[in-house]
Amino acid sequence: MVPAATRERLRSQLLQATATVCSLAALSAMLDPDRIATRLGLFLVGVNGYSQFYAIYVGVRFATALLALLAARRGDQPILGDLTALFILAQPIGRLVAAFAIGLPQGVLLAVCGIELLVGLALLALRPRGRLFSP
């Protein structure tokens, strides 16, 4: 059994690392969308294609980063860390749904999916003891 203070410190550090990684990923996507899209197997076509890419890979990533940062600083409100975990876990869950239709992701995206799964589950595992998603 890990002491509560250690769990809180580890969760805060993981949330801070998540905020950093999400911010860097969003910044990278914003600065060079074509290179990032190509590495992810995406083809950006027209205004709508770029708009959708920016919405997801810049907007949602920055929002996740801000939520993770807020959760790291407000350890007294574990719901914020829980929401961050759900945002992160939504991605591998979506990829799992896609896997039934077209197969698992490949290459870099498969590794990213594994990391997302580990981070999301670790955030939930490190939450303060008590009811899940409690304030």
Digit-coded pLDDT (tens) for 44-97: 999 999 999 999 999 999 999 999 999 999 878 899 999 999 999 999 999 999
* CA 106 to each of CA 26, 51, 85: distance values in angstroms, whole numbers, following the listed order: 21, 24, 23
How far apart are alpha carbons 1 and 51 in whole angstroms? 47
The H helix count followed by the E strand count for the chain is 6, 0
Q: Is residue 15 pLDDT above 80, yes or no?
A: yes
Between 61-73 and 4-31, two packed helices, what is the crossing angle to 10 degrees? 160
Confidence of residue 128 (pLDDT cuts 50, 70, 90): confident
26 and 58 in contact (C-beta within 8 Å)? yes
Q: What is the pTM of this model?
A: 0.87
Q: What is the CA radius of gyration of the chain?
A: 16
